[in-house]
Amino acid sequence: MTTDIEAAAQQADAFLAGKRKADDVAFMLGRVLAEMGVRVGDRDSWPQLTGRAALSGEPYVYLGTVPMTTARKLTDALIYAESVKRSLRDQYGSGHDAWRGVRNHFDQEGSS
């Protein structure tokens, strides 16, 4: 049986671990957006991007309100990436070793 102090410490540890994970993802997303020419922190580009966590430790990234032009740019990039992914799959076939490596890479990226 844990004491109230131990329970509070465990909850704080879970929260901080979730916050660190969310901050890492927010940072990585910010770098990707910068490579696309989207400036995080700029009101006209992407005003706010913040790593957060629930008290339970569940991490999440707050994206804020994104201007329509930035949302369209991101949508176009995601559609293009999916198109390339499908093209590779069609070119190599789903059973081909090269496609398996590409598929595994994308699957791992999506679950991180």
pLDDT in tens, 69-110: 999 999 999 999 999 989 988 888 766 565 566 556 556 655
Q: What pTM value is reported for the model?
A: 0.69
3-state class (DSSP) for residue 65: coil
Q: What is the pLDDT of residue 90?
A: 84
Q: What are the φ and ψ backbone dihedral angles of 62, each rounded to 5 degrees?
A: -85, 120
Query: Looking at the predicted structure, is the pLDDT value of residue 4 above 60?
Result: yes
Name the percent of the chain lying above pLDDT 90. 69
Q: How many residues does the chain have?
A: 112
In the chain, the DSSP E strands lie at 50-53, 59-62
